[in-house]
Amino acid sequence: MKSNTTRAVRIITGNQAAALAAKNAKVRVVAAYPITPATPVVEELSKMVETGEMKAHFILVESEHSAMAACIGASAAGSRTFTATSSHGLAYMHELLHYATNARTPVVMAVANRAIGPGWNIWADLSDSISQRDTGWMQFYCSDNQEIYDTIIMAYRIAEHRDVLLPAMVCYDGFVLSHTAMPIEITDVNDFIDEYHPVWRLDFDEPSTHGNILPPDYFMELRREVCEAHERALKVMKEVEREFYEYSGRLTPLILEEYRLEDADVAMVTMGAISSEAKIAVDELRKRGVKAGLLRLKAFRPFPKQEVVEKLGSVEKVYVFDRSVSPGFDGQLFSELKAVLWDLRSPPEVYGRIVGLGGRDVTSRVFEKAVLGELDKKWVMEVIY
Amino acid sequence: MGEKLGKKWEIRFHGRGGQGAVTASKILAEAAYLSGFEAQSIPFFGAERRGAPVMAFTRVSYEAIHERSQVYTPDYVIVLDPIILDAVDVFRGLKDGGSIVINTVKSPMDFQFEQGSLLVATVDATGIAIKNNLLVAGTPVVNMPMLGAFLKIFSHIELETLEEVVMKKFGKNGKANVAAVREAYESTVVEKVRGSGKPSTEDVRRKRAVTMPVSTPSPGVAGRTRFWRDFRPEVDYDVCSNCLSCWLHCPESAIQRVGSRIEIDYEFCKGCLVCSAVCPKKAIRVSREVVV
Amino acid sequence: MRISALPREEYLLPGNAACHGCASSMCLRTVLKALGKNTVLIVPASCTSVYQGMFPNSAIAVPVFNTAFASAAATASGIKASLLQQGIDANVVVWAGDGGTYDIGLQALSGAAERNEDIIYICYNNEMYSNTGIQRSGATPYGAWTTTTWSGKKEHRKDVAELMMSHEVPYVATASAGYLADLYQKVKKAKKMEGFRYIEILSPCPPGWRYPMEKTVEIGKLAVETGMWILYEYEEGHFRLTGVSKAIAEGRRKMKDIGEYLFAQGRFAHLSDGDVVKIREYVEDRWRKLVKMESDMHAASAKFYV
């Protein structure tokens, strides 16, 4: 552990944590457009840039589409970039999310997860970012504010790693985390993250053309490279996680977190803020004699297939809780988890539950009851307390 | 019908953008269908513009056609453009013993190839197009006479069936096109020609990893664009006042200032003739590009 | 200016994939001569995305960043911000067609203009979506045939150069492929200024407008000589007609009849007499409006000094 690490605890919201992380991660160009519930990130950053507290250029663009375009441009020109958005704003960026991936620009973005309308709904729902699953972005889902701060900083180290060169979104439930204040340690990360050193950038002395036509002879090579970069990212994530632990003293998981899973018969699998409630349920269930455990996925992309199989290889039952849904199919995490467990010789029974869409509150009782077999329907409609 | 089962012909067209290779491929498919066959016409879209080499494919079969891919080993090749012979290997993949129809003033024996033997048919489709006034913006359109020439070696479609499709397609220009089809059919010279019989096995395309979609500046991104040239501008230096108007207006950077005069880079000049049009001294003469 | 004064350096390399007689490639060549090597070009989907060639090669010898169709001005804003942060002085220049400017890219353009981003935005306007094969755009003039206006477009075009003036950016200019030396000088002037600069070039297209390939320059001139396209500059709030347009406004040159321009192109071949009258009226209205704008400008400054 480094001795020069200065620790300062502040009670702040998830959005403030995101803004401070961007500042401390030496972001030099921000382009963003306000949208509830991510707006405070944009406000916070613009204030820090205006007062000179943050040494960056803030482009107050006219849309999320332009926000991402400006981030991609700035990244390609050689700057570390950041933006924050949510819901419709993220959907509006969709085209450029693909663009950032194939352009190999390591943009990092905070996403305050929110439902997509109509009807208008500003509350927590992971559908916005889960629908961006196939854009090639790395996706991390946080369950507390400390994690938001830590993960954004670590995300740059992963995204910019020359074996990776992929954009990353750090997601956290709207309002549930974005507007909820908790004490977090604002670690000075000056020695953890250096100024951005791009692998490639626009060069006036040796000009090159970025992103012209990539014909059928070459396109698959690029796509395969992107997929291999995702695989390499898992390795880099493990290194960065360890390095950050050594630096800050905090073990902030990047891939997954397990809770009382070693001897569990029943595993719950979750992502995001609801995972924290699930921990309470694990303890309750254990008190009642049910050997329950929790596997929280932090990284949804790249999906840690091997790690998940290892962790769930010996449980009998798995309950997957999705705060999102793919109409016409199931909860996305549920579907993907089943696909991964198919590799096991005798896979556990896997059940899926849809919970908490559009901000419907999710308490620990939901998890408890589901595991006890008291919620046998796929859709958990009631708020149980 | 028994011997016909599984019988299928694959035809590849070579032309340049704007010459109507795709239209020819479609009209041939239509004529084949009217003759009782299953038929398919596939355009191949590259990224180039008018004037660049293009391909199109037609499949004709007694049975349902399930292929959706390009034609790699055609039974027939139709070359619409004499200029393209230098730019593209039109013989590539053509089956040994297959046939090729070429728009040229040369004779079949003038062609060399790696197949053991081919049926080579030649026709001056450009001359026929000019004679029948099949011109668009001054450029002869040879696609219909080339189909006429093709029927000379492909006996499964009646000339009359093709003419019917052509009439319907071209409306008021139908008669001229039909006349050209017939004239080409009648004047096509066909000979069986022996080739080297030694196919090269070298893989022409070297692949590379693509980490970043980043390209390097280099001349000739669209190949040697001289093959796009139908008309050749030539500077009469006795008349040229070196005003540089042609240099300023060349869309291709194919006119260079060399010492105190300008020179046309014939490797890349596409023959758009803007230089000739903007020359105040009328010092740039234009002639039809001759194929050597 | 003398043509020989233009730099010999070529930044658009020969053997590119543009059509015969392409005005866009012709103008880009001139524009890059004016801008020089310290330039990054931002190109949204357009003919230029194609004629610059395919990976692993490029026909453009300055840095180029290709971007999504709607995003040119926003991408350029990001690139400029980054270069400023790094202390790199370079021309950040958008090179977009009228599709990427008038239609799908208008929001990003307006945003960047309003923010007065320090970039040059050049629209080569060929009055239709040429790249996808000649479909109507917001810049297509009344009556023109395209593959989505088979019987001729029923509406007049909009005018983004005027829209940029209403954004009160430091510099707006129009140019034409018929007058490359004028284009060169306008780009040179824009290069020396700061803030958002917008230049729109009328860029005739032989296959789309249906005229013989060698007539690109002639058509570009005719557009101006008949008043269909008006050359002007708007500089720090001051509007003035330039070149042949100025000469016509001052009575030093007679305006040619609109028919000379229209019937030189196949896309207008079907126009009725009534259509021609409608176009003539539109052209006259625009003339009156812009000439008045110039004289008001003079009157205002005269008043100021009284």
Could you read off the pLDDT of B5-62 as tens digits, one per residue?
668 999 999 998 878 899 999 999 999 999 999 999 998 876 656 677 889 999 999 9
Q: Do C17 and B278 touch (CB under 8 A)?
A: no
User: What burial letters (b/e) apply to B104-133, b meaning 16+ CB within 10 Å?
Assistant: beeebeebebebeebbbbbbbbbbbbeebe
Q: Residue B103: inside a domain, yes or no?
A: yes
- Give the end of a domain, one of B172, B194, B216: B194
Asked whether A105 and A167 are in contact (CB, 8 A), the reply is yes
d(CA A240, CA A60): 32
What pLDDT, on a 0 to 100 scale, did the predictor assign at position B84? 81
Q: Could you give the number of structural domains in chain B?
A: 2
Residue C256 confidence (pLDDT) above 90: yes
pLDDT tens digits, one per residue of A255-310: 999 999 999 999 999 999 999 999 999 999 999 999 999 999 999 999 999 999 99
* CATH number of the structural domain spanning residue B243: 3.30.70.20
**B134 and B255, same domain (yes or no):** no
Whole-angstrom Cα distance, residue C294 to residue C301? 11
Answer whether the bond into residue A118 is a cis peptide, omega within 30°. Answer: yes
CATH number reported for the structural domain that contains residue B112 in this entry: 3.40.920.10
Same domain, B69 and B159: yes
- Domains within chain A, CATH numbers bracketed: 9-248 (3.40.50.970), 256-371 (3.40.50.920)
In terms of domains, do B43 and B168 share one? Answer: yes
Residue C302 has pLDDT above 70, yes or no: no
Cα dihedral C254, C258, C264, C266 in deg (nearest 10): 170
Q: Chain C contact for A62, CB < 8 A? A: yes
* Torsion sign (Cα): A245, A246, A248, A250: positive
Alpha-helical runs (H) found in chain A: 14-24, 39-50, 64-77, 87-103, 127-130, 145-159, 216-248, 274-287, 305-312, 332-341, 364-371
* β-pairing verdict for B99-103 and B76-79: parallel
Same domain for B167 and B74: yes
Minimal C-alpha gap between A63 and chain C (Å): 8
Work out the minimum CA distance from B90 to partner chain A, whole angstroms: 20
Q: Are residues B144 and B259 in the same domain?
A: no
Query: Which residues form the domain of B134?
Result: 2-194
Both B47 and B179 in a single domain?
yes
Residue A94's contacts (CB-CB under 8 Å, 6 or more residues apart) are: A132, A135
For residue A215, give the nearest of B47, B207, B208 by CB distance: B47
Flag whether residue C40 sits within 8 Å of chain A, measured between CB atoms: yes
* Per-residue model confidence as pLDDT tens digits over B231-276: 999 999 999 999 999 999 999 999 999 988 999 999 999 999 999 9
Q: Where are the beta strands (DSSP E) in C120-196?
A: 120-125, 171-176
Q: Is residue B271 part of a domain?
A: yes
* C266 interfaces chain A, CB cutoff of 8 Å: no
Give the tens place of pLDDT for each residue, A119-165: 999 999 999 999 999 999 999 999 999 999 999 999 999 999 999 99
Q: CA–CA separation, B74 vs B95, rounded Å?
A: 6
In chain A, which residue's Cα lies nearest the Cα of C57? Answer: A209
Residues from chain A contacting residue C60 (CB–CB below 8 Å): 207, 209
Asked if C17 is an interface residue toward chain A (Cβ–Cβ < 8 A), one would say no
Report chain B residues whose CB lies below 8 A from the CB of A211: 213-214
Q: Same domain for B242 and B129?
A: no
Judge whether B200 lies within some domain.
no
Query: Mind giving me the DSSP string for A42-95?
Result: HHHHHHHHHTTSS--EEE--SSHHHHHHHHHHHHHHT--EEEEE-HHHHHHHHH
pLDDT per residue as tens digits for the range B275-292: 999 999 999 999 988 654
CATH superfamily of the C7-305 domain: Thiamin diphosphate (ThDP)-binding fold, Pyr/PP domains (3.40.50.970)
B225 touching C (Cβ < 8 Å): yes
Residue B187 placed within a domain: yes
Distance separating alpha carbons of residues A172 and A187, to the nearest angstrom: 20
Give the nearest partner residue to A222 out of B207, B213, B217, using CB atoms.
B213
* Pair B115, B8 in one domain: yes
Percent of chain C at pLDDT > 70 equals: 98
B129 and B178, same domain (yes or no): yes
Tell me: do B238 and B129 sit in the same domain.
Answer: no
| ipTM greater than 0.90 | yes
A221 neighbourhood in chain C, CB within 8 Å: none
**Residue B85: per-residue pLDDT:** 83
Nearest CA in chain B to A228: B211
Say whether both B158 and B234 belong to one domain. no
Question: How does pLDDT run across C270-286, given as a tens digit for each residue?
Answer: 999 999 999 999 999 99
Judgement on whether residues B190 and B252 belong to the same structural domain of the protein: no
What are the residues facing A382 on neighbouring strands? Answer: none
**pLDDT top residue among A8 and A371:** A371
Instruction: Please judge whether A73 and C75 are an interchain contact, meaning their C-beta atoms are less than 8 angstroms apart.
Output: yes
Compute the mean pLDDT over every residue in chain B, rounded to the nearest whole number: 91
Q: How far is C29 from chain A (nearest CA, A)?
A: 16
Q: How far apart are CA A43 and CA A276, in angstroms?
A: 28
Question: What is the distance between the alpha carbons of residues C119 and C299, in angstroms, rounded to a whole number?
Answer: 32
User: Which tokens in the block code for residue B237?
Assistant: 């230096």
